[in-house]
Amino acid sequence: MREFLVEITTSIPEGTDPAEVDRRRAAEAVRARELAATGNLGRLWRPVGERRSIGLWRAADEDELREKVLGTLPLRDWMTFAVTPVDPHPNDPGRG
DSSP string, 69-93: IGGG-TTGGGEEEEEEEE---TT-T
Q: Is 80 part of a structural domain of the chain?
A: yes
pLDDT in tens, 7-59: 999 999 999 999 999 999 999 999 999 999 999 999 999 999 988 999 999 99
Please tell me the total count of domains within the chain: 1
> Could you tell me the residue range of the domain that residue 53 belongs to?
2-86
- CATH number (domain holding residue 25): 3.30.70.1060
Q: Is 94 part of a structural domain of the chain?
A: no
Q: Is 95 part of a structural domain of the chain?
A: no
Do 46 and 87 contact (CB within 8 A), yes or no? no
Q: Is 33 part of a structural domain of the chain?
A: yes
Threshold 0.85, pTM exceeds: yes
pLDDT in tens, 58-84: 999 999 999 999 999 999 999 999 999
